[in-house]
Structure 1
Amino acid sequence: MVTHGMVIMPQYEKKSLSDIVVAYVKNRILSGVLKSGDKLTEADISSELSTSRAPVREAMRILNEQGIVSFSPRRGNQVLEMSPQEVLEVFDIRITLEIQILHILSTQPILQEKDYQELHQMTMQMQKGEQQCSTNEERVFLLNTLDLAFHRYLWNASESSRRAQILEGLFYQLLIVMNQNIVSLGTFEEKAQEHLQILNALKTNQPPLVSEAFMQHLHKYVNATLANSK
Protein backbone atom coordinates (compact mmCIF):
# COMPACT_ATOMS: atom_id res chain seq x y z
CA MET A 1 0.00 0.00 0.00
CA VAL A 2 1.21 3.51 -0.82
CA THR A 3 0.66 5.94 2.06
CA HIS A 4 2.85 8.93 1.15
CA GLY A 5 0.95 12.11 0.32
CA MET A 6 -2.77 11.53 0.13
CA VAL A 7 -2.65 8.25 -1.82
CA ILE A 8 -4.60 5.72 0.22
CA MET A 9 -5.75 3.09 -2.24
CA PRO A 10 -3.34 0.34 -3.35
CA GLN A 11 -0.92 0.43 -6.25
CA TYR A 12 -0.40 -2.95 -7.90
CA GLU A 13 3.22 -4.04 -8.08
CA LYS A 14 4.78 -6.23 -10.74
CA LYS A 15 3.91 -9.75 -9.67
CA SER A 16 2.59 -12.80 -11.47
CA LEU A 17 -0.74 -12.05 -13.12
CA SER A 18 -2.63 -14.41 -10.82
CA ASP A 19 -1.06 -12.72 -7.76
CA ILE A 20 -2.25 -9.36 -9.08
CA VAL A 21 -5.79 -10.71 -9.41
CA VAL A 22 -5.67 -12.15 -5.87
CA ALA A 23 -4.44 -8.79 -4.53
CA TYR A 24 -7.14 -6.98 -6.52
CA VAL A 25 -9.93 -9.09 -5.00
CA LYS A 26 -8.50 -8.81 -1.47
CA ASN A 27 -8.12 -5.04 -1.77
CA ARG A 28 -11.75 -4.75 -2.84
CA ILE A 29 -12.64 -6.67 0.32
CA LEU A 30 -10.42 -4.39 2.42
CA SER A 31 -12.14 -1.34 0.92
CA GLY A 32 -15.61 -2.72 1.69
CA VAL A 33 -16.61 -2.99 -1.98
CA LEU A 34 -16.98 -6.78 -2.07
CA LYS A 35 -19.51 -8.34 0.29
CA SER A 36 -20.90 -11.80 1.00
CA GLY A 37 -22.47 -13.40 -2.06
CA ASP A 38 -21.13 -10.89 -4.60
CA LYS A 39 -20.43 -12.50 -7.98
CA LEU A 40 -16.90 -12.56 -9.37
CA THR A 41 -17.11 -12.73 -13.15
CA GLU A 42 -13.94 -13.77 -14.97
CA ALA A 43 -14.73 -11.57 -17.97
CA ASP A 44 -15.27 -8.47 -15.83
CA ILE A 45 -12.08 -8.95 -13.81
CA SER A 46 -9.92 -9.75 -16.84
CA SER A 47 -11.28 -6.61 -18.54
CA GLU A 48 -10.72 -4.47 -15.43
CA LEU A 49 -7.10 -5.63 -15.11
CA SER A 50 -6.43 -5.93 -18.86
CA THR A 51 -5.39 -9.56 -18.62
CA SER A 52 -6.51 -12.88 -20.05
CA ARG A 53 -8.91 -15.16 -18.21
CA ALA A 54 -6.29 -17.82 -17.36
CA PRO A 55 -4.69 -15.89 -14.45
CA VAL A 56 -8.16 -14.93 -13.23
CA ARG A 57 -9.11 -18.62 -13.08
CA GLU A 58 -5.89 -19.40 -11.20
CA ALA A 59 -6.58 -16.54 -8.77
CA MET A 60 -10.09 -17.85 -8.14
CA ARG A 61 -8.59 -21.25 -7.33
CA ILE A 62 -6.18 -19.67 -4.82
CA LEU A 63 -8.93 -17.59 -3.22
CA ASN A 64 -11.13 -20.68 -3.03
CA GLU A 65 -8.37 -22.52 -1.14
CA GLN A 66 -8.12 -19.59 1.27
CA GLY A 67 -11.86 -19.78 1.97
CA ILE A 68 -12.53 -16.32 0.53
CA VAL A 69 -14.30 -17.34 -2.68
CA SER A 70 -16.71 -20.21 -3.27
CA PHE A 71 -17.62 -21.88 -6.56
CA SER A 72 -20.69 -23.74 -7.74
CA PRO A 73 -21.60 -24.81 -11.30
CA ARG A 74 -24.87 -22.90 -11.05
CA ARG A 75 -23.60 -19.65 -9.56
CA GLY A 76 -19.97 -19.63 -10.65
CA ASN A 77 -17.45 -17.82 -8.43
CA GLN A 78 -18.80 -15.65 -5.66
CA VAL A 79 -17.59 -14.07 -2.46
CA LEU A 80 -17.99 -16.37 0.54
CA GLU A 81 -21.37 -16.48 2.29
CA MET A 82 -21.72 -17.72 5.88
CA SER A 83 -24.59 -18.30 8.28
CA PRO A 84 -24.44 -16.63 11.72
CA GLN A 85 -23.39 -20.02 13.17
CA GLU A 86 -20.54 -20.28 10.66
CA VAL A 87 -19.46 -16.71 11.40
CA LEU A 88 -19.32 -17.52 15.12
CA GLU A 89 -17.29 -20.66 14.36
CA VAL A 90 -14.75 -18.63 12.35
CA PHE A 91 -14.49 -16.09 15.19
CA ASP A 92 -13.92 -18.96 17.65
CA ILE A 93 -11.15 -20.42 15.51
CA ARG A 94 -9.47 -17.04 15.06
CA ILE A 95 -9.65 -16.29 18.79
CA THR A 96 -8.18 -19.70 19.69
CA LEU A 97 -5.26 -19.41 17.25
CA GLU A 98 -4.48 -15.78 18.01
CA ILE A 99 -4.52 -16.32 21.77
CA GLN A 100 -2.01 -19.14 21.23
CA ILE A 101 0.22 -16.68 19.37
CA LEU A 102 -0.19 -14.00 22.05
CA HIS A 103 0.68 -16.60 24.72
CA ILE A 104 3.92 -17.34 22.87
CA LEU A 105 4.74 -13.63 22.61
CA SER A 106 3.97 -12.93 26.28
CA THR A 107 5.90 -15.91 27.68
CA GLN A 108 9.00 -15.90 25.47
CA PRO A 109 11.56 -13.10 24.92
CA ILE A 110 10.57 -12.55 21.29
CA LEU A 111 9.33 -8.96 21.09
CA GLN A 112 12.13 -6.42 21.48
CA GLU A 113 11.98 -2.66 21.99
CA LYS A 114 12.10 -2.06 18.23
CA ASP A 115 9.02 -4.29 17.85
CA TYR A 116 7.12 -2.36 20.50
CA GLN A 117 8.09 0.90 18.79
CA GLU A 118 6.90 -0.41 15.41
CA LEU A 119 3.59 -1.60 16.87
CA HIS A 120 3.12 1.70 18.71
CA GLN A 121 3.73 3.57 15.47
CA MET A 122 0.99 1.50 13.84
CA THR A 123 -1.49 2.50 16.55
CA MET A 124 -0.54 6.17 16.11
CA GLN A 125 -1.03 5.87 12.35
CA MET A 126 -4.46 4.38 12.97
CA GLN A 127 -5.32 7.19 15.37
CA LYS A 128 -4.61 9.72 12.60
CA GLY A 129 -6.35 7.66 9.92
CA GLU A 130 -9.61 9.59 9.72
CA GLN A 131 -7.93 12.81 8.61
CA GLN A 132 -5.98 11.03 5.84
CA CYS A 133 -9.08 9.88 3.94
CA SER A 134 -11.27 11.87 1.58
CA THR A 135 -13.76 9.12 0.63
CA ASN A 136 -15.56 6.39 2.54
CA GLU A 137 -13.86 3.74 0.41
CA GLU A 138 -10.46 5.11 1.39
CA ARG A 139 -11.52 5.20 5.04
CA VAL A 140 -12.64 1.56 5.08
CA PHE A 141 -9.55 0.43 3.16
CA LEU A 142 -7.11 2.23 5.47
CA LEU A 143 -8.88 1.13 8.66
CA ASN A 144 -8.86 -2.53 7.59
CA THR A 145 -5.33 -2.40 6.19
CA LEU A 146 -3.92 -0.93 9.40
CA ASP A 147 -5.88 -3.42 11.49
CA LEU A 148 -4.52 -6.33 9.45
CA ALA A 149 -0.98 -4.93 9.56
CA PHE A 150 -1.02 -4.76 13.38
CA HIS A 151 -2.27 -8.32 13.83
CA ARG A 152 -0.10 -9.70 11.01
CA TYR A 153 2.97 -8.20 12.69
CA LEU A 154 2.18 -10.19 15.86
CA TRP A 155 1.40 -13.38 13.90
CA ASN A 156 4.70 -13.19 12.03
CA ALA A 157 6.72 -12.20 15.11
CA SER A 158 5.68 -15.45 16.81
CA GLU A 159 7.21 -17.40 13.91
CA SER A 160 4.06 -19.50 13.82
CA SER A 161 3.92 -19.52 10.04
CA ARG A 162 1.06 -21.98 9.71
CA ARG A 163 -1.08 -20.18 12.28
CA ALA A 164 -0.28 -16.89 10.53
CA GLN A 165 -1.35 -18.30 7.16
CA ILE A 166 -4.64 -19.61 8.55
CA LEU A 167 -5.33 -16.39 10.48
CA GLU A 168 -4.89 -14.26 7.36
CA GLY A 169 -7.56 -16.28 5.58
CA LEU A 170 -9.86 -16.05 8.60
CA PHE A 171 -9.34 -12.27 8.74
CA TYR A 172 -10.64 -11.88 5.19
CA GLN A 173 -13.52 -14.31 5.74
CA LEU A 174 -14.75 -12.28 8.70
CA LEU A 175 -14.18 -8.98 6.92
CA ILE A 176 -16.42 -10.10 4.05
CA VAL A 177 -19.25 -10.53 6.56
CA MET A 178 -18.52 -7.23 8.32
CA ASN A 179 -18.67 -5.43 4.97
CA GLN A 180 -22.44 -6.06 5.01
CA ASN A 181 -22.58 -3.20 7.48
CA ILE A 182 -19.32 -1.29 7.82
CA VAL A 183 -20.48 0.22 11.13
CA SER A 184 -19.37 -3.11 12.63
CA LEU A 185 -15.77 -2.20 11.75
CA GLY A 186 -15.67 0.51 14.40
CA THR A 187 -13.73 3.78 14.17
CA PHE A 188 -10.04 4.60 13.81
CA GLU A 189 -9.93 5.92 17.37
CA GLU A 190 -11.69 2.89 18.86
CA LYS A 191 -9.45 0.39 17.07
CA ALA A 192 -6.31 2.38 17.89
CA GLN A 193 -7.16 2.34 21.61
CA GLU A 194 -7.95 -1.39 21.53
CA HIS A 195 -4.63 -2.13 19.80
CA LEU A 196 -2.85 0.05 22.33
CA GLN A 197 -4.39 -1.96 25.16
CA ILE A 198 -3.13 -5.20 23.57
CA LEU A 199 0.32 -3.67 23.14
CA ASN A 200 0.49 -2.41 26.74
CA ALA A 201 -0.65 -5.84 27.99
CA LEU A 202 2.10 -7.54 25.97
CA LYS A 203 4.68 -5.35 27.69
CA THR A 204 3.64 -6.78 31.08
CA ASN A 205 4.50 -10.36 29.97
CA GLN A 206 1.33 -11.54 31.73
CA PRO A 207 -0.68 -13.86 29.46
CA PRO A 208 -4.03 -13.34 31.28
CA LEU A 209 -3.84 -9.57 30.76
CA VAL A 210 -2.91 -10.02 27.10
CA SER A 211 -5.76 -12.47 26.52
CA GLU A 212 -8.24 -10.14 28.24
CA ALA A 213 -7.21 -7.15 26.09
CA PHE A 214 -7.45 -9.24 22.91
CA MET A 215 -10.82 -10.73 23.86
CA GLN A 216 -12.27 -7.27 24.52
CA HIS A 217 -11.05 -6.22 21.07
CA LEU A 218 -12.48 -9.23 19.22
CA HIS A 219 -15.74 -9.42 21.15
CA LYS A 220 -16.69 -5.95 19.92
CA TYR A 221 -16.40 -7.30 16.37
CA VAL A 222 -18.29 -10.47 17.29
CA ASN A 223 -21.20 -8.63 18.89
CA ALA A 224 -21.49 -6.04 16.11
CA THR A 225 -21.19 -8.61 13.32
CA LEU A 226 -23.70 -11.10 14.73
CA ALA A 227 -26.15 -8.29 15.54
CA ASN A 228 -26.04 -7.18 11.91
CA SER A 229 -26.43 -10.72 10.55
CA LYS A 230 -29.73 -11.41 12.36
Structure 2
Amino acid sequence: MIAQTSYQTQSLKDVAVDYLTKKIMTGEYKPNEKINEVQVANELGISRAPIREGIKELSSQGLVTQIPRKGTYVVELTEKDIHEIYQIRVSLENCIIDKIVRDNKLKEKDFKFLEKKIETMEEIANSDDDFNSKKIKINREDIKFHKYIWEKADSPRRQEILFDLHRQLQMAMLFDTEMTGDLKNTAETHKDIVKYLRAGDAKNAKTALVDHIEMYKMK
Protein backbone atom coordinates (compact mmCIF):
# COMPACT_ATOMS: atom_id res chain seq x y z
CA MET A 1 0.00 0.00 0.00
CA ILE A 2 2.83 2.38 -0.84
CA ALA A 3 0.59 4.95 -2.50
CA GLN A 4 -1.72 5.55 0.45
CA THR A 5 0.22 8.58 1.76
CA SER A 6 0.09 10.22 -1.68
CA TYR A 7 -3.67 10.00 -2.23
CA GLN A 8 -4.46 13.42 -0.75
CA THR A 9 -1.99 15.38 -2.85
CA GLN A 10 -1.72 13.44 -6.12
CA SER A 11 -4.01 11.69 -8.55
CA LEU A 12 -3.58 7.92 -8.65
CA LYS A 13 -2.18 8.23 -12.16
CA ASP A 14 0.48 10.65 -10.91
CA VAL A 15 1.30 8.28 -8.05
CA ALA A 16 1.86 5.53 -10.61
CA VAL A 17 3.97 7.79 -12.83
CA ASP A 18 6.21 8.85 -9.93
CA TYR A 19 6.57 5.28 -8.69
CA LEU A 20 7.45 3.82 -12.08
CA THR A 21 9.75 6.73 -12.97
CA LYS A 22 11.70 6.26 -9.74
CA LYS A 23 12.13 2.54 -10.40
CA ILE A 24 13.36 3.24 -13.93
CA MET A 25 15.70 6.08 -12.92
CA THR A 26 17.22 4.13 -10.02
CA GLY A 27 17.85 1.15 -12.26
CA GLU A 28 15.54 -1.13 -10.30
CA TYR A 29 13.76 -1.62 -13.61
CA LYS A 30 16.42 -2.48 -16.18
CA PRO A 31 16.39 -1.55 -19.89
CA ASN A 32 14.14 -3.91 -21.86
CA GLU A 33 12.57 -5.24 -18.65
CA LYS A 34 8.85 -5.93 -18.82
CA ILE A 35 6.62 -3.98 -16.41
CA ASN A 36 4.05 -6.15 -14.69
CA GLU A 37 0.89 -4.03 -14.23
CA VAL A 38 -0.65 -6.43 -11.74
CA GLN A 39 2.47 -6.43 -9.59
CA VAL A 40 2.71 -2.62 -9.64
CA ALA A 41 -0.98 -2.29 -8.77
CA ASN A 42 -0.50 -4.64 -5.81
CA GLU A 43 2.61 -2.78 -4.64
CA LEU A 44 0.77 0.54 -4.74
CA GLY A 45 -2.54 -0.79 -3.47
CA ILE A 46 -4.53 0.70 -6.34
CA SER A 47 -6.38 -0.63 -9.37
CA ARG A 48 -4.76 -1.30 -12.73
CA ALA A 49 -6.59 1.59 -14.47
CA PRO A 50 -4.32 4.38 -13.11
CA ILE A 51 -1.31 2.15 -13.73
CA ARG A 52 -2.28 1.92 -17.38
CA GLU A 53 -2.80 5.71 -17.51
CA GLY A 54 0.62 6.24 -15.96
CA ILE A 55 2.25 3.87 -18.41
CA LYS A 56 0.63 5.72 -21.30
CA GLU A 57 2.16 8.98 -20.01
CA LEU A 58 5.58 7.39 -19.59
CA SER A 59 5.31 6.02 -23.12
CA SER A 60 4.69 9.54 -24.45
CA GLN A 61 7.77 10.70 -22.51
CA GLY A 62 9.91 7.98 -24.06
CA LEU A 63 10.65 6.00 -20.87
CA VAL A 64 8.73 2.88 -21.85
CA THR A 65 7.50 1.28 -25.03
CA GLN A 66 4.17 -0.52 -25.38
CA ILE A 67 4.13 -3.54 -27.67
CA PRO A 68 0.67 -4.81 -28.68
CA ARG A 69 -0.18 -8.23 -27.21
CA LYS A 70 3.21 -8.39 -25.50
CA GLY A 71 3.23 -5.69 -22.84
CA THR A 72 5.18 -2.67 -21.65
CA TYR A 73 8.98 -2.58 -21.57
CA VAL A 74 11.54 -0.12 -20.23
CA VAL A 75 13.26 1.72 -23.08
CA GLU A 76 16.94 1.06 -23.71
CA LEU A 77 18.75 4.16 -24.96
CA THR A 78 21.48 3.40 -27.47
CA GLU A 79 24.58 5.54 -27.93
CA LYS A 80 22.92 6.94 -31.07
CA ASP A 81 19.80 7.85 -29.07
CA ILE A 82 21.86 9.64 -26.42
CA HIS A 83 23.80 11.68 -28.98
CA GLU A 84 20.55 12.69 -30.70
CA ILE A 85 18.98 13.77 -27.40
CA TYR A 86 22.01 15.91 -26.58
CA GLN A 87 22.09 17.43 -30.07
CA ILE A 88 18.45 18.47 -29.83
CA ARG A 89 19.04 19.86 -26.38
CA VAL A 90 22.09 21.92 -27.39
CA SER A 91 20.31 23.39 -30.40
CA LEU A 92 17.23 24.46 -28.42
CA GLU A 93 19.03 25.56 -25.28
CA ASN A 94 21.49 27.69 -27.29
CA CYS A 95 18.51 29.54 -28.76
CA ILE A 96 17.13 29.99 -25.25
CA ILE A 97 20.43 31.45 -24.03
CA ASP A 98 20.46 33.90 -26.94
CA LYS A 99 16.92 35.02 -26.09
CA ILE A 100 17.60 35.32 -22.37
CA VAL A 101 20.68 37.49 -22.91
CA ARG A 102 19.14 39.58 -25.68
CA ASP A 103 15.96 40.30 -23.71
CA ASN A 104 17.68 40.56 -20.31
CA LYS A 105 15.39 37.90 -18.87
CA LEU A 106 17.41 37.00 -15.77
CA LYS A 107 17.50 39.29 -12.74
CA GLU A 108 19.57 39.03 -9.57
CA LYS A 109 16.99 36.85 -7.83
CA ASP A 110 17.18 34.42 -10.75
CA PHE A 111 20.95 34.19 -10.54
CA LYS A 112 20.67 33.59 -6.79
CA PHE A 113 18.25 30.73 -7.46
CA LEU A 114 20.60 29.14 -9.99
CA GLU A 115 23.59 29.55 -7.68
CA LYS A 116 21.63 27.92 -4.88
CA LYS A 117 20.96 24.93 -7.13
CA ILE A 118 24.70 24.62 -7.77
CA GLU A 119 25.38 24.77 -4.01
CA THR A 120 22.82 22.03 -3.48
CA MET A 121 24.49 19.84 -6.10
CA GLU A 122 27.89 20.39 -4.48
CA GLU A 123 26.50 19.48 -1.06
CA ILE A 124 25.04 16.27 -2.49
CA ALA A 125 28.31 15.41 -4.26
CA ASN A 126 30.23 15.87 -0.99
CA SER A 127 27.71 13.99 1.16
CA ASP A 128 28.18 10.52 2.64
CA ASP A 129 25.30 9.06 0.64
CA ASP A 130 26.00 6.12 -1.66
CA PHE A 131 26.95 6.89 -5.26
CA ASN A 132 23.63 5.82 -6.78
CA SER A 133 21.63 7.99 -4.38
CA LYS A 134 23.88 11.01 -4.99
CA LYS A 135 23.72 10.48 -8.75
CA ILE A 136 19.92 10.56 -8.76
CA LYS A 137 19.70 13.59 -6.45
CA ILE A 138 22.23 15.60 -8.46
CA ASN A 139 20.47 14.68 -11.68
CA ARG A 140 17.19 15.97 -10.22
CA GLU A 141 18.78 19.31 -9.23
CA ASP A 142 20.56 19.55 -12.59
CA ILE A 143 17.25 19.25 -14.42
CA LYS A 144 15.67 21.86 -12.10
CA PHE A 145 18.55 24.25 -12.89
CA HIS A 146 18.03 24.00 -16.63
CA LYS A 147 14.22 23.92 -16.51
CA TYR A 148 14.31 27.21 -14.63
CA ILE A 149 16.30 28.76 -17.48
CA TRP A 150 13.96 27.26 -20.08
CA GLU A 151 10.95 28.78 -18.32
CA LYS A 152 12.56 32.22 -18.00
CA ALA A 153 13.20 32.46 -21.74
CA ASP A 154 9.48 32.90 -22.51
CA SER A 155 9.86 30.61 -25.52
CA PRO A 156 6.86 28.27 -25.15
CA ARG A 157 7.46 26.06 -28.18
CA ARG A 158 11.12 25.40 -27.37
CA GLN A 159 10.17 24.91 -23.73
CA GLU A 160 7.47 22.40 -24.66
CA ILE A 161 9.89 20.34 -26.75
CA LEU A 162 12.50 20.33 -23.98
CA PHE A 163 9.91 19.47 -21.35
CA ASP A 164 8.67 16.57 -23.49
CA LEU A 165 12.28 15.42 -23.86
CA HIS A 166 13.41 15.92 -20.29
CA ARG A 167 12.63 12.38 -19.03
CA GLN A 168 14.76 10.87 -21.79
CA LEU A 169 17.37 13.52 -21.01
CA GLN A 170 17.36 12.39 -17.38
CA MET A 171 17.88 8.79 -18.46
CA ALA A 172 20.78 9.76 -20.70
CA MET A 173 22.39 11.90 -18.01
CA LEU A 174 22.04 9.18 -15.37
CA PHE A 175 23.55 6.61 -17.70
CA ASP A 176 26.54 8.79 -18.53
CA THR A 177 27.08 9.84 -14.91
CA GLU A 178 27.26 6.14 -14.12
CA MET A 179 29.96 5.85 -16.79
CA THR A 180 32.04 8.88 -15.73
CA GLY A 181 31.42 8.73 -11.99
CA ASP A 182 32.34 12.42 -11.68
CA LEU A 183 29.58 13.93 -9.55
CA LYS A 184 31.60 16.91 -8.31
CA ASN A 185 32.40 17.99 -11.85
CA THR A 186 28.72 17.67 -12.74
CA ALA A 187 27.99 20.35 -10.15
CA GLU A 188 31.03 22.50 -10.99
CA THR A 189 30.32 22.78 -14.72
CA HIS A 190 27.20 24.87 -14.03
CA LYS A 191 29.20 27.74 -12.57
CA ASP A 192 30.51 29.05 -15.88
CA ILE A 193 27.00 28.99 -17.35
CA VAL A 194 25.79 31.31 -14.58
CA LYS A 195 28.94 33.46 -14.74
CA TYR A 196 28.51 34.22 -18.43
CA LEU A 197 24.74 34.64 -18.24
CA ARG A 198 25.27 37.17 -15.46
CA ALA A 199 27.81 38.99 -17.66
CA GLY A 200 25.40 39.01 -20.62
CA ASP A 201 27.89 36.99 -22.65
CA ALA A 202 25.75 34.66 -24.75
CA LYS A 203 28.66 33.28 -26.78
CA ASN A 204 30.61 32.03 -23.77
CA ALA A 205 27.44 30.95 -21.95
CA LYS A 206 26.69 28.67 -24.90
CA THR A 207 30.26 27.37 -24.88
CA ALA A 208 29.92 26.65 -21.14
CA LEU A 209 26.65 24.81 -21.83
CA VAL A 210 28.30 22.64 -24.48
CA ASP A 211 31.22 21.93 -22.12
CA HIS A 212 28.72 20.89 -19.45
CA ILE A 213 26.84 18.60 -21.81
CA GLU A 214 30.05 17.21 -23.34
CA MET A 215 30.99 16.09 -19.84
CA TYR A 216 27.99 13.76 -19.95
CA LYS A 217 28.25 12.67 -23.54
CA MET A 218 29.60 9.21 -24.21
CA LYS A 219 32.93 9.21 -26.01
Q: TM-score range by the shorter chain?
A: 0.7 to 0.9
Residue identity in the other structure for 2:113:
E
- 2:94 pairs, out of 71, 94, 99, with 99
Segments of 5+ residues of structure 2 without an aligned counterpart are none
2:160 is the counterpart of 1:165 = yes
Q: Residue in 2 aligned with 1:135?
A: 130
Alignment partner, residue 152 of structure 1: 147
> Is 1:206 aligned to 2:172, yes or no?
no
Cα-to-partner distance string for 1:75-94 (whole Å, 9 max, x where unaligned) = 41112223332322222111
* Matched letter for residue 175 of structure 1: Q
Q: Following the alignment from structure 1 to structure 2, what is the Cα–Cα distance between the partners of residues 204 and 185?
A: 30
Counterpart in the other structure of 1:25: 20
Alpha-carbon shift at residue 128 of structure 1 (Å): 0.9
Larger displacement relative to structure 2 (167-176 or 94-103): 167-176
Identity %: 29
- In 2, the alpha carbon distance for the partners of 1:129 and 1:166 equals 29
In the other structure, the counterpart of 2:9 is 14
Deviations 1:49-76 (A, max 9, x none): 1111000001111111122211112541
- What is the count of residue pairs matched by the alignment? 214
1:31 CA displacement? 3.3
Distance 2:16 2:64 in 1: 13
Specify the SS of the correspondent of 1:128: helix
> Are 1:175 and 2:170 an aligned pair?
yes
Computed over aligned residues only, the root mean square deviation of the Cα atoms, in angstroms, reads 2.3
CA distance in 1, matches of 2:114, 2:140: 14
Note closer, same or farther for the CA distance 1:93–1:181 as it changes in structure 2 (3 Å cut). closer
Choose the corresponding residue for 2:37, options 34, 39, 42: 42
Q: In 2, are the aligned partners of 1:80 and 1:173 still within 8 Å (CA)? A: no
User: Alpha-carbon deviations, 1:138-193, whole Å to 9, x = none?
Assistant: 21221111111111111111123332332233232143345556433643321221
Runs (4+) of structure 1 exceeding 4 A deviation are: 177-182
The amino acid that maps onto 1:42 is: E
Cα separation, partners in 2 of 1:133 and 1:153, compared to 1, 3 Å: farther
TM-score computed with the length of structure 2 as normaliser = 0.86
Task: Please give the TM-score of this superposition, normalised by the length of structure 1.
Answer: 0.83
